[in-house]
Structure 1
Amino acid sequence: MATKISATSMTFKTYLRISRSKSEQKGLLRTALFYFTTHLCRCQRRRIRQVSKAKRAPWYSTLPERTSASILTIMAQQKSFIKLEGRIGDLTFYKTQNGYQTREKGGVSASRIATDPKFQRTRENNAEFGRANAAAKRFRDALRAFIQLTSDAKMTNRLNSRMSRVVKADTVSDRGERQVLNENLGILNGFGFNSAASLSNTLFVKLESSIDRSTGAALVSIPALNPKVVIAKPEGATHYQFSAALASVNFHSEEAEFSFAMEESDVLPLADLGEALELAPTLAPETELPLFLAFGISFYQEVNGKHYPLNNGAYNALSIIKIDKG
């Protein structure tokens, strides 16, 4: 299909160039748009019929049981030089980071998924998926001031996936009823909030960290360092800053319940040797909630004596480095 569309596009562009009037050009564009959408609809419908005939079952029945979406889609890449955005009938045209794509609406109705015994596994998966996403959002809310130091558009999806592993680690509850249990929260340790800059590949020193539940204090010790050797600085950076955050989160209350504290170092020049530092964010003592200690390094560029975040924090590395499950 891609070869035919490409060849047609080249022929159409050649013909369009030799057209003499603007009205004729507009007419040709409308005609090309009509044939393009018609051809795409036919290809999508032919694909659905082929899958249904091969499996002798509805095409959506071939998907794994863990599918949690109530609306299923078929997606295609737009190869024509005419790029579309919007909706035409059951087709939706949209732009992503991977280019222009098209998808067709279809699938099983929500009412059938909610009542049909054949979709019992799907209902169980949906319940646990929603529970994991709610816990991940509460976790993000607790650390929001810390997370804002960096920028990663896919962080939410990655955290939802990690929290789903926490839910599935519950060996006590029945399927569909599994919860976020404190004893399984260690799965979140090492989670990086920026996939483009991991802490282990940005800062090459051994950190000493501890959490004292009785006092509510956490401690991160950073040894003396030579930034030119142990910090993988991005291009354009002139300064850096360390940050440590401590948060307690209640994943079981109906209302959001969390506490947060953060401490930051001075903004330090990358050209000078760094002295040993200690960061000690502190919460109220004797809490019974799980405690999460996060650490990160941020980069800045100095211009006329002012420090500006480098590329809006796209190179900042932030991670969970210690968890006290409570």
Structure 2
Amino acid sequence: MAKQTGLIKVRGTLDNVNFYQTQDGTLARMRTSVDAKRIATDPAYIRTRENGAEFGASAKAGKIVRDTLRPLLLMASDNRITARMTKVMTDVKNLDTTSSRGGRNVAGGINHPSAKELLKGFNFNERSNLGSVLAKPFAVSTSSGEVTIADIIPLNDIASPVGATHFSLQCGWAKIDFNSGVSDFQLSALTKLPIDETQQTISLTPNTAPAGTGIDVFVLCIAFYQEVNNIQYPLRNGAFNALSIVEIQ
């Protein structure tokens, strides 16, 4: 696709070229001459239909993850999260070695030895990666969901944005079944602390284990606040908050 760079921006269709607005600017692409009915029925387009079916399945799997983690995504995510998650799910789908072409899906690929590594470390806010924000190792218990950060000194170990006076930590444990689309998500209590030189060990544990079957996804979220007259306000609407998958099994 092409990007318009001139002073006059065109929207719509001109000489079989579609002009449309995106967050990256005004883009242009050739309009296809093949109608949707032919793509859906013509044997010549069977590969196109197969690719479309698999892409749709990957997008649906990504939506399941996003919907499951929504309570924390509201605090920390970027405007490309849908596309980035769909891409990862497509990579997981490609590891499905049992389904036929056109039917490969995330449920069939998620148990491949390499699949979970594709998801582990995924950051939901590309503007603020957990590894760049938290400069302290942590441990994750896959039996209880507990996340422990030992001997943390916030002023030294948290890369806080200008203006932040406090930060919060919260972990979550999700159980996601990509076959059925059913999931459950349990959160720990929110731990909020001042950004100072006090050394302490932080332990976060979900209230209970999530119900159901499927894969276990463990996440950790860091959010920043500014205190004004004893009231703590979210800093810049969460632009600096980090949320990441820290373990998966």
Question: TM-score by structure 1 length?
Answer: 0.69
User: CA offset at residue 100 of structure 1?
Assistant: 3.6
Unaligned runs of 5+ in 1: 1-73
Which structure: larger Rg? 1
The residue number in structure 2 matching 1:148 is 74
The residue number in structure 2 matching 1:25 is none
User: CA offset at residue 233 of structure 1?
Assistant: 1.0
* Separation in 2, partners of 1:267, 1:286: 27
The residue number in structure 1 matching 2:237 is 312
- Residue 137 of structure 2 is aligned to residue 206 of structure 1: yes
The residue number in structure 1 matching 2:39 is 113
Unaligned runs of 5+ in 2: none
User: AA paired with 1:131?
Assistant: A
* Separation in 2, partners of 1:94, 1:170: 35
Q: Is the 8 A contact 2:177 2:213 kept in 1?
A: no
* Separation in 1, partners of 2:128, 2:31: 36
User: CA offset at residue 313 of structure 1?
Assistant: 0.7
The residue number in structure 2 matching 1:195 is 126
User: AA paired with 1:315?
Assistant: F
* Separation in 1, partners of 2:103, 2:21: 37
Question: TM-score by structure 2 length?
Answer: 0.89
- Residue 226 of structure 2 is aligned to residue 301 of structure 1: yes
Q: Is the 8 A contact 1:218 1:282 kept in 2?
A: no
User: CA offset at residue 303 of structure 1?
Assistant: 1.2
C-alpha RMSD of the superposition: 2.1
From the superposition, tell whether residues 123 and 92 of structure 1 become closer, same or farther in structure 2 (CA, over 3 Å). Answer: closer
The residue number in structure 1 matching 2:215 is 290
Q: Is the 8 A contact 2:149 2:202 kept in 1?
A: yes
User: CA offset at residue 274 of structure 1?
Assistant: 3.9
From the superposition, tell whether residues 114 and 96 of structure 1 become closer, same or farther in structure 2 (CA, over 3 Å). Answer: closer
How many residues align structurally?
243
Higher strand residue share: 2
CA deviation digits over 1:131-168, x for unaligned, max 9? 11111101111110011111300011000000001111
1:15-54 aligned at under 5 Å gives the runs none
1:118-267 aligned at under 5 Å gives the runs 118-180=44-106, 181=108, 182-184=110-112, 185-186=115-116, 187-212=118-143, 217-253=144-180, 256-267=181-192
Higher helix residue share: 1
Q: Is the 8 A contact 1:75 1:104 kept in 2?
A: no
From the superposition, tell whether residues 75 and 176 of structure 1 become closer, same or farther in structure 2 (CA, over 3 Å). Answer: same
Higher relative contact order (CA 8 A, sep 6+): 2
User: CA offset at residue 102 of structure 1?
Assistant: 4.1
* Separation in 2, partners of 1:309, 1:93: 38
* Separation in 2, partners of 1:91, 1:162: 31
* Separation in 2, partners of 1:111, 1:117: 12
